[in-house]
């Protein structure tokens, strides 16, 4: 049978029950005083209510099973078939469940929150402590429960914390401002936290003060470091010899100025604050032009430095260096400059002294070169005469002894002559200006050959030249001649007399950028271990020929003067190769 639902069922059941109770009472002739209709009505009402509740309860039980089950589907079935009473119980149960869910939710939030939540009573006794505190202080919640919160606050902070908290929570529901203080760590150290409390003393179920706290140790450390760094900067700012300044260009206002201005300018900070133009007013009149470009530099936003003289208050003149760092805004307009000014007078004077010494040294060098040149030049004339006389003497009849003496004189004279020639080359290279003229290597080679014509041993040497000068080449002819003369004369001097085919091979290629020159001979060669020394002044490897160890030094100097480079390679008893590059000027 289908059970009518709701009010319909109740309406139908009431008269039936009434009849069911009243009829037997009438039939059994129960006296009117003993059982009146009002009583019958009351009894039937009570019975019908009980029936109603019994029926609905049995239904609710059936529906409640579905309700508590976990799947959403079953919950839907329960709701669909529930009657009014079932809905009543259902909603109550649902409310209870929701309450439980909410409690669970809040419990989880509190337990997992990194913020620490503490509930204390009006006496400061800890009633609840969230687990987050353990991470910060090492104390588990149970270790604090029932203890006074004040015992865990740093003694230097406790009075202040109590006052701030109590003042802040003057009435229920009011939250105190943030209070920074230290709390005890289980290991005995102190941890910086920040807390605020809210009074819920009058709220049933809480009756206490809820305190929210957060670990700010890291932040405090950083703040302390920042404070220390600022303090150090301040010390620097106040004490370094350099003067610092910052100017707000928008409002044409000095932001800060360091005390060192007093030493550098002889004027106190106040004078600059009173007159922002003082910096430029004290620039030496002759140096004012040096700072004219400053505005443009500032507009560029790129740091720059200027050196100029200033006139101090006592009239003395000092050199300063002003290093400025401009700051631009988003529209690339300068809004601020920060500068460092240092007194560089000593450095400038030292620079000037060095320049003066350099000029004096240059002058001395020049005079020395002139002296060496003229002496060498003057020495050559009598030397040439001596050589001529020796040549004449050789034509005369000589004894063997005289012949040997003449040879010895000849050897020494040649040596002296070679030395003087080298000195002359060196002087020429050192003192004369570098020129740039068209070079015809074939013509230059002819000149070198002519110069070496009378050098002993030339007659045995074959000169093989490969000159590829398709691209015109310009350089300093005199220095090129010095280079070739020395390399050729060495090749002749250090030829291998045991070979019948002694030669000098010259290879020249010109390009837009340079001339690449290779001079090779098949003479005695140079041991590789000496190759890095042969370009040094007065360094000699072999003494089979007269020399002073100057030839290759002069070659290297001349090559470098022309902006070129030279290197040597050799195989003893086989060959010596010099490779030179000279820029095309
Ligand atoms: P010097 O010829 O006056 O000794 P250099 O500076 O011209 O001085 O040469 C340095 C040394 O290098 C020489 O003593 C010689 O031993 C060696 N040397 C230079 N050129 C050659 C060469 N073409 N073949 C072999 N040895 C050489």
For 373-385, write each residue's pLDDT tens digit.
888 888 888 888 9
- What integer pLDDT is reported at residue 577 of this predicted model? 98
Question: 């009583």: which residue's tokens?
Answer: 39
Alpha-carbon gap, residue 292 to 294, rounded angstroms? 5
- What integer pLDDT is reported at residue 24 of this predicted model? 60
Residue nearest to atom 4 of ligand 1 (CA): 549
| CA diameter of the chain | 198
Alpha-carbon gap, residue 283 to 292, rounded angstroms? 11
CATH 3.40.50.10470 is held by the domain 434-583? no
Residue nearest to atom 1 of ligand 1 (CA): 549
Alpha-carbon gap, residue 2 to 406, rounded angstroms? 158
- Evaluate whether 85 touches 56 at the Cβ level (below 8 Å): yes
Structure tokens at 321: 């260096």
- Evaluate whether 351 touches 321 at the Cβ level (below 8 Å): no
Alpha-carbon gap, residue 525 to 515, rounded angstroms? 25
CA of 62 to the centre of ligand 1 (A): 121
DSSP 288: G
Which ligand 1 atom is at minimum distance from the Cα of 548? 3
- What integer pLDDT is reported at residue 227 of this predicted model? 93
- What integer pLDDT is reported at residue 432 of this predicted model? 85
* Any atom of ligand 1 within 6 Å of the Cβ of 504: no
Residue nearest to atom 21 of ligand 1 (CA): 490
pTM recorded for the entire structure: 0.50
- List, in order, residues 6 or more apart from 397 with CB less than 8 Å away: none
* Any atom of ligand 1 within 6 Å of the Cβ of 552: yes
- What integer pLDDT is reported at residue 330 of this predicted model? 94
CA of 483 to the centre of ligand 1 (A): 13
CA of 42 to the centre of ligand 1 (A): 146
Domain range list for the chain = 6-65, 113-222, 240-343, 344-431, 434-583
- What integer pLDDT is reported at residue 552 of this predicted model? 96
CATH number given to 344-431: 1.10.287
Q: Would you tell me how many other CB atoms lie within 10 Å of the CB of residue 182? A: 20
Which ligand 1 atom is at minimum distance from the Cα of 486? 7
Query: At 505, phi and psi to the nearest 5?
Result: -110, 120
DSSP H helical segments within 432-544, as ranges?
A: 441-452, 477-493
**Probe residue for ligand 1, chosen from 542, 556, 577 as the CB with the greatest number of ligand atoms within 8 Å:** 542
- What integer pLDDT is reported at residue 81 of this predicted model? 35
Sort residue 309 into left (φ over 0), alpha (ψ -120 to 50) or beta. beta
Strand partners for 243: 341
* Any atom of ligand 1 within 6 Å of the Cβ of 551: yes
- Radius of gyration from C-alpha coordinates of the chain: 56
Question: Which residues does the chain have with pLDDT short of 50?
Answer: 1-7, 58-83
Give the rounded distance of the alpha carbon of 528 from its chain centre.
47
Strand partners for 212: 117, 196
Strand bridging mode 514-521 / 575-583: antiparallel
CATH number given to 240-343: 3.30.450.20
**Closest C-alpha among 376, 429, 397, 383 to residue 551:** 429
- Evaluate whether 561 touches 555 at the Cβ level (below 8 Å): no
- Evaluate whether 257 touches 270 at the Cβ level (below 8 Å): no
**Probe residue for ligand 1, chosen from 422, 525, 551, 570 as the CB with the greatest number of ligand atoms within 8 Å:** 551
CATH number given to 113-222: 3.30.450.20
* Any atom of ligand 1 within 6 Å of the Cβ of 482: no
Query: Do the domains spanning 113-222 and 240-343 agree at the CATH topology level?
Result: yes
- What integer pLDDT is reported at residue 373 of this predicted model? 83
Query: At 188, phi and psi to the nearest 5?
Result: 95, -15
Strand bridging mode 503-510 / 514-521: antiparallel
Which ligand 1 atom is at minimum distance from the Cα of 550? 6
Give the rounded distance of the alpha carbon of 148 from its chain centre.
51
Alpha-carbon gap, residue 64 to 58, rounded angstroms? 10
Alpha-carbon gap, residue 117 to 136, rounded angstroms? 12
């Amino acid at each position: 049978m289908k059970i009518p639902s709701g009010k319909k069922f109740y309406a139908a059941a009431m008269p039936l029950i009434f009849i069911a109770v009243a009829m037997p009472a009438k039939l059994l002739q129960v006296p009117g005083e003993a059982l009146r209709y009002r009583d019958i009505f009351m009894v039937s009402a009570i019975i019908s209510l009980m029936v109603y509740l019994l029926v609905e309860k049995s239904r609710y039980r059936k529906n409640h099973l579905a309700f508590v089950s976990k799947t959403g589907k079953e919950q839907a079935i329960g709701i669909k078939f529930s009657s009014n009473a079932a809905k009543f119980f259902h909603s109550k149960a649902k409310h209870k469940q929701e309450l439980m869910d909410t409690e669970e939710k809040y419990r989880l939030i509190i337990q997992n929150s990194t913020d620490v939540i503490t509930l204390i009573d009006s006496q400061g006794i800890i009633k609840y402590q969230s687990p987050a505190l353990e991470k910060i202080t090492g104390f588990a919640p149970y270790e604090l429960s029932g203890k006074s919160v004040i015992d865990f606050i740093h003694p230097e902070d406790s009075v202040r914390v109590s006052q701030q908290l109590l003042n802040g929570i003057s009435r229920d529901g009011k939250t105190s401002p943030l209070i920074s203080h230290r709390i005890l760590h289980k290991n005995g150290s102190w941890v910086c936290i920040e807390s605020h409390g809210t009074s819920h003393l009058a709220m049933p179920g809480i009756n206490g003060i809820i305190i929210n706290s957060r670990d700010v140790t890291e932040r405090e450390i950083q703040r302390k470091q920042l404070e220390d760094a600022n303090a150090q900067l301040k010390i620097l700012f106040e004490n370094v010899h350099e003067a610092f300044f910052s100017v707000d260009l928008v409002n044409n206002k000095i932001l800060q100025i360091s005390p060192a201005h007093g030493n550098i300018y002889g004027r106190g900070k106040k004078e600059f604050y009173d007159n922002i133009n003082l910096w430029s007013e004290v620039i030496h009149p002759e140096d004012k032009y040096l700072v004219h470009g400053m505005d443009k530099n500032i507009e560029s936003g790129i740091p720059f430095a200027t050196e100029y003289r200033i006139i101090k208050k006592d009239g003395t003149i000092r050199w300063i260096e002003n290093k400025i760092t401009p700051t631009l805004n988003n529209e690339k307009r300068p809004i601020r400059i920060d500068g460092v000014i240092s007194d560089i007078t000593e450095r400038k004077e030292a620079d000037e002294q060095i320049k003066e010494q350099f000029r004096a040294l240059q002058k001395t060098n020049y005079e020395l070169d002139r002296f060496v040149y003229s002496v060498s030049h003057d020495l050559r004339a009598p030397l040439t005469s001596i050589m001529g006389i020796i040549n004449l003497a050789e034509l005369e009849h000589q004894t063997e002894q005289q012949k040997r003496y003449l040879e010895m004189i000849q050897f020494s004279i040649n040596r002296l002559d070679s030395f003087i020639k080298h000195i002359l080359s060196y002087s020429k290279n050192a003192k004369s200006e570098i020129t740039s003229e068209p070079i015809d290597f074939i013509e230059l080679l002819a000149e070198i050959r002519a110069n070496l014509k009378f050098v002993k041993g030339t007659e045995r040497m074959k000169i093989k030249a490969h000159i590829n000068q398709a691209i015109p080449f310009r350089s300093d002819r005199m220095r090129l001649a010095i280079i070739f003369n020395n390399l050729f004369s060495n090749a002749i001097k250090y030829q291998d007399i045991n070979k019948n085919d002694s030669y000098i091979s010259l290879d020249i290629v010109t390009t837009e950028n340079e001339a690449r020159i290779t001079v090779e001979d098949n003479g005695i060669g140079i041991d590789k271990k000496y190759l890095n020394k042969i370009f040094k002044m007065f360094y000699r490897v072999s003494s089979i020929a007269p020399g002073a160890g100057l030839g290759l030094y002069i070659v290297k100097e001349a090559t470098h003067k022309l902006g070129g480079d030279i290197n040597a390679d050799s195989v003893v008893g086989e060959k010596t190769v010099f490779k030179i590059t000279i820029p095309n000027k």
